Amino acid sequence: MDVPQIKKAAKVYDVVIVGSGAGGGMAAYQLSKAGATVCLLEAGGYFDPADPKYINQLKWAYESPRRGAGTTRAFGDFDAAWGGWEIEGEPYSAVKGTEFHWFRSRMLGGRTNHWGRISLRMGPDDFKRKSLTGIGEDWPLSYEDYAPYYDKVDDLIGVFGSKEGLRDAPDGRFLPPPKPRLHELMIKKAGKSIGVPVIPSRLSILTKPIHDRGGCFYCAQCGRACQAYADFSSSSVLCIPAVKTGRVTLINGAMAREVITDPKTGLATGVSYVDVPTMTEQSVMGKVVVLAASTCETARLLLNSKSARFQNGLANSSGVVGKYLNDSTGASRGAFIPALMDRKRYNEDGVGGAHVYSPWWLDNKKLDFPRGYHIEYGGGMGMPMYGFGFGMEGRNSIVPGRDGKPKAAGGYGADLKDDFRRFYGANIGMAGRGEPVPLESNYCEIDPNTVDKYGIPTLRFNYKWGEAEIKQAKHMQDTFEEIIHAMGGIALGKKPGPETNYGLEAPGKIIHEIGTARMGNDPKTSVLNKYSQAHDVKNLFVVDAAAFPSQGDKNVTWTILANSWRTSDYIIDQVKQKNI
């Protein structure tokens, strides 16, 4: 060993955090602000949305040779995610007959650089599913425990929305919401006529500047990450400010391999990792270890951290690590709205996301499925990108031509060229996002046969949707058609039926995976206690969504942020009390 490495090994940080996404970023921010020395290990590279090196915001379609196609980036050439459904040299597998898709971003800030910014609180009932419905699991905590943290997250990060007083979709401390776009007003009107509420979205985008960050300038491109820091990315809003405290040592390209434990005390002492640029084995020592590598990767780390004392993997005396993996359900439908043909042109980019959404509005007791969903909407006169104009042959005979006469589908020439203009901005899309029932039989485990390019054993998934989710998707499809008809629209494509589980997306596809190290009061059936502290290892914490027993139909990130803050406060408290 050379000298610097010995020096490095000698340093013991107050806290070692693995992963810099929503969970890890918030922990690094809170713990460093409280005075702790933090080592933040991030497998991916450095990323700052404001550094021209990384900026794709405000680029035109034609600045991409593939016009924005998603060849190397799943959500398009300008999207801010480095990584995707597959990462070279980092495979995962699924047991035959089951399926799971795992989206990973490898970069400072993780998946929060390009996420949808939909920032929803879970409601009071979401925490009490078992008591209320007899299936699923209760959290060891209630909405009241989280409410103050949701409030603090709202104030620190910023979220717009409207006060609606809905029990299941609690109000936050909102910035003003942007006004609906034209198609969104039409959706709202249609929703009203059939009893589906359509209210302002709740997105972590600054319609008013706060805390030295810039205000939104309405480019609709949050997925590319905002150079004005006007939307929430963990990189810009949490990690970079945390590093500026001078107490955070950020190590990029640090792919954690295992949590190291003391064989005598059973406590965590640090983390071993592969330094990606040099492909060397390294480790860092810490008094507390916080895992935030994202739900499945955190389970992988725990399961791979085997020792004589922890033969089942770390913090896994219950055998529950990896189990109860669950992702939101998702189903969608598109429609063409004839009234929107030949639209007047104006800039309706707005924020990077829908300005309205539909929170769950029905009572599951009266339905044949146990959990609700919300609806997200799309549409408008966006920048034409790769894919524009494909499929016109399925569209341009639906309505008569300018001369009022019926048209043959397809075509070519000046007449077709004119059709593209006429149909521009006349489509809408709807996507349901529902709560699944967490099942023990849906899990990830270590694949006995495979390692990744770092020699780290990989994950194997075992996941199947149940009847509850399939029936929920069927209900979504029926609702979509009702809304479309109420708008005077024409649904596109064939209505998804039982042959496709009503268009229910494959597990993992909605990218709200949670549950693999769930918290609970009983150490036999849970991995963490209500402070996200491992039952088995008191200086080990999990601050990503692995800790969650359930997720409501509320995209999980706002709850990750609230829970990570709450856990950080507890760590500070326990250190002060000399308990850890």
Which residues contact ligand FAD (rule: CB under 6 A)? 18-24, 41-44, 75, 103, 105-107, 110-112, 114-118, 254-256, 292-294, 297, 511-512, 544-545, 555-557, 560
Which residue is listed with tokens 């706060």? 210
The secondary structure of 238-267, three-state, reads HHHHHHHCCCEEEEECEEEEEEEECCCCCC
In this complex, which beta carbon is closest to other proteins, that of residue 186 or of residue 519?
186
Task: Indicate which of ligand SF4, ligand FAD, other proteins, none lies near residue 43 (CB less than 5 to 8 Å, by partner kind).
Answer: ligand FAD
**DSSP letter (8 states) at residue 519:** B
Q: Which is nearer to other proteins, 410 or 493 (CB)?
A: 410
Is 258 a binder of ligand SF4 (CB under 6 A)? no
Report the relative pairing of strands 490-491 and 268-275 from DSSP bridges. Answer: unpaired
Residue 78's binding partner out of ligand FAD, ligand SF4, other proteins, none, with CB under 5 to 8 Å set by partner kind: other proteins
Q: Out of 231, 445, 513, 553, name the contact with ligand SF4 by CB under 6 A.
A: 231
Region class of 277: left (phi > 0), else alpha (psi between -120 and 50), else beta: alpha
Q: Which is closer to ligand FAD, CB of 34 or CB of 256? A: 256
Residue 487, C-beta contacts closer than 8 angstroms, at least 6 positions apart? 186, 187, 189, 190, 335, 337, 339, 428
Residue 51 interacts with other proteins (CB under 8 A): yes or no: yes
Answer for which of 411, 429, 466, 523 binds other proteins (CB under 8 A) is 411
378 binds, among ligand SF4, ligand FAD, other proteins, none (CB under 5 to 8 A by kind): none
Nearer to ligand SF4, 117 or 395 (CB): 117
> Which part of the chain contacts other proteins (CB under 8 A), choosing from 65-73, 133-141, 501-509, 538-546?
65-73
Name the residue among 49, 34, 44 with its Cα closest to residue 237: 49
Distances (CA, A) of 226 to 20, 114, 493: 18, 9, 35
Q: Which helix (H) or strand (E) holds 12?
A: strand 12-18
CB count within 10 Å of CB 456 equals 19
Q: Which is nearer to ligand SF4, 132 or 228 (CB)?
A: 228
229's CB contacts (< 8 A; 6+ apart) are 49, 50, 213, 214, 236, 237
At closest approach, how far in Å is the CB of 232 from ligand SF4?
Answer: 9
The mark string for 172-211 relative to ligand SF4 (x by CB under 6 A, - otherwise) is ---------------------------------x------
Residue 111 binding result from ligand FAD, other proteins, ligand SF4, none, given CB thresholds of 5 to 8 Å by partner type: ligand FAD
* SS3 state of residue 169: coil
CB contact at 8 A, 533 and 141: no
When CB distances are held under 5 to 8 angstroms depending on the partner's kind, the choice from other proteins, ligand FAD, ligand SF4, none that residue 439 binds is: none
Could you say which of ligand FAD, ligand SF4, other proteins, none residue 496 binds, taking C-beta under 5 to 8 angstroms by partner kind?
Answer: none
Binding of residue 78 to other proteins (CB under 8 A): yes
Token readout for 488 is: 């005077």
Distance from chain centroid for Cα 320: 23
Least Å from the CB of residue 42 to ligand FAD: 5
Both tokens of 51, joined, read: 């550094």
DSSP 140: S
- Angle of the 467-486 helix axis to the 182-194 helix axis, nearest 10: 110
In the bound state with ligand SF4, the residue whose beta carbon lies nearer, of 175 and 375, is: 175
Per-residue binding string, ligand SF4, 461-500, x by CB under 6 A, is ----------------------------------------
* Total of chain residues touching ligand SF4, rule CB under 6 A: 15
Name residues whose C-beta falls within 8 Å of residue 11's C-beta, 6 or more positions apart in sequence: 284, 285
Question: Does residue 387 touch other proteins according to CB under 8 A?
Answer: yes
Which member of 219, 271, 290, 517 binds ligand SF4 (CB under 6 A)?
219
Which of 24/425 has CB closer to ligand FAD?
Answer: 24
Which of 2, 10, 53, 366: binder of other proteins (CB under 8 A)? 53
Q: Which part of the chain contacts ligand SF4 (CB under 6 A), choosing from 173-181, 220-228, 521-529, 547-555?
A: 220-228
Q: Which of residues 94-113 bind other proteins (CB under 8 A)?
A: none
Nearer to ligand SF4, 113 or 479 (CB): 113
The residues, ordered by sequence, that sit 6+ positions from 180 with a Cβ below 8 Å of its Cβ are 188, 200, 355, 356
Q: Specify the residue, 279 or 362, whose C-beta has the smaller distance to other proteins.
A: 279
Task: Point out which span in 92-100, 135-143, 407-415, 539-547 binds other proteins (CB under 8 A).
Answer: 407-415
Bridge partners, residue 282, by sequence: 273
Question: Rounded distance, CA 114 to CA 105, Å?
Answer: 9
Q: Is 220 in the site for ligand SF4 (CB under 6 A)?
A: yes
Phi, psi of 538 (to 5 degrees): -75, -15
- Applying CB under 6 A, does 348 fall inside the site for ligand SF4? no
CA distances from 369 to 161, 436, 468 (A): 29, 10, 5
Is 220 an interacting residue with respect to other proteins (CB under 8 A)? yes
Strand locations in 136-224 (E): 199-200
Q: Does 453 bind other proteins (CB under 8 A)?
A: no
Within 351-370, the residues that bind other proteins by CB under 8 A are 351
Residue 255 to residues 196, 277, 282, 386, Cα–Cα distance (Å): 46, 10, 10, 34
> Which of 8, 9, 12, 59: binder of other proteins (CB under 8 A)?
59
Out of ligand FAD, ligand SF4, other proteins, none, what residue 555 binds, judged by CB under 5 to 8 A for its kind, is ligand FAD
Dump strand ranges (E) for 262-407. Answer: 268-275, 280-291, 329-336, 356-358, 373-379
Question: Which residues face 373 on adjacent strands?
Answer: 434
Helix axes 22-33, 557-576, angle to 10 degrees: 30
Binding residues for ligand SF4, rule: CB under 6 A, are 57, 205, 216-222, 226, 228, 230-231, 351-352
